[in-house]
Amino acid sequence: MKTLLLKTIPLFSELKDHELQKVAELCVLKKFRRDNLIIFEDDLGNNLFLIKSGRVKISRISEDGREVILAILNEGDFFGELSLIDGMTRSANVIALGDVEVLILRRGDFLDLLSKYPTIAVSLVKELAARIRKSDSQIQSLSLMSAEGRVITTLIRLAEDIGTIQKGEVRITNLPCQRDLANIAGTSRETISRFIKKFERQGLLKKDKGELIIFDYDRFKQAFL
């Protein structure tokens, strides 16, 4: 089971089956309950975490005490890599959004793998570059866009990160709670609710019992971006 998961993670997807087996033997499975703190900002980092099932949120606390959600990661994603590379403390909190299972890889083992299998290092650099681009986009959204623009950008980010698309329709199951959506968009829960209701009236999407459906995803993006 571990090797099947590792094969789906871009970081290890170029490895051969016997190489994946070696990586799997180094990993330890651990479970976390909803709202459990997996990583605490400023802690020393000695492990890489690979998500086997569930979702986590990456967040920081601002100077005025507000939570700012930087990303939501899904099955097959990984986190904790920065501290393994530079040996410094964790840069953000990681909290379980539901029941979560992760594979844990120790720092020493991970660094050994980087030296043995250069394809892992290349994949890691590509992933870090993608995350930097996404962070730049988020900073632009929070600093330059209107409240409506920030809500739209948040919904598009969620669609890209955790949504499933079929025949042009995007379905986001287990939608983050209103508070978390607001913390991603850098706005209030009332603002999130107001604009989602507006988009529903316009026939662009539907929100029902923790699920959000964007009926024509390409049209939705083109209409607002």
129 lies in the same domain as 159: no
With helix as H, strand as E and coil as C, how does the chain read? Answer: CHHHHHHHCCCCCCCCHHHHHHHHHHCEEEEECCCCEEECCCCECCEEEEEEECCEEEEEECCCCCEEEEEEECCCCEECHHHHHHCCECCCEEEECCCEEEEEEEHHHHHHHHHHCHHHHHHHHHHHHHHHHHHHHHHHHHHHCCHHHHHHHHHHHHHHHHCEEECCEEEECCCCCHHHHHHHHCCCHHHHHHHHHHHHHCCCEEEECCEEEECCHHHHHHHHC
The predicted-structure confidence for 185-201, as pLDDT tens digits, reads as follows 888 899 999 999 999 99
Side by side, the strands of the sheet bearing 100-106 are 28-32, 100-106, 47-53, 78-79
Q: How many domains does the chain have?
A: 2
Which residues are CB-neighbours of 103 under 8 A, at least 6 positions away?
Answer: 2, 5, 6, 27, 28, 29, 49, 50, 52
How many other β-carbons are positioned within 10 Å of the β-carbon of residue 147?
A: 15
Same-domain check for residues 149 and 137: no
Domain shared by 128 and 156, yes or no: no
Are 47 and 123 within one domain? Answer: yes
How many other C-beta atoms lie within 10 A of the C-beta of residue 134? Answer: 15
| Residues spanned by the domain of 74 | 2-141
| Domain's final residue, options 141, 166, 197 | 141
Predicted confidence band at 54 (pLDDT cuts at 50, 70, 90)?
very high
Cα 192 from Cα 126, distance rounded (Å): 33
124 plus 218 within the same structural domain: no
164 alpha-carbon distance from chain centroid: 14
- CATH number of the domain encompassing residue 166: 1.10.10.10
Instruction: Please tell me whether residues 170 and 126 are part of one structural domain.
Output: no
Q: Tell me: do 67 and 163 sit in the same domain.
A: no
**Of the residues 141, 158, 193, the one at which a domain ends:** 141
pLDDT for res 143 = 65
- For residues 181 and 103, membership in a common domain is answered with no
107 vs 79: CA distance, rounded Å: 12
pLDDT confidence tier of residue 171, bands split at 50, 70 and 90: very high
Same domain flag for 102 and 187: no
Handedness of CA 86, 89, 94, 100 (dihedral sign): positive
Domain final position from 122, 141, 160:
141
Both 118 and 187 in one domain: the answer is: no
Residue 44: pLDDT band with limits 50, 70, 90: confident
State the CATH number of the domain containing residue 109. 2.60.120.10
Over the stretch 20-39, which tens digit does the pLDDT of each residue have? 899 999 999 999 999 999 99
Looking at the fold, whether 102 and 13 belong to one and the same domain comes out as yes
Cα–Cα distance, 224 to 211 (Å, whole number): 21
pLDDT at 126: 87
pLDDT per residue as tens digits for the range 113-148: 989 999 898 888 888 888 878 777 766 666 667 888
**Do 126 and 196 sit in the same domain of this protein?**
no
- What confidence score (pLDDT) does residue 142 get? 64
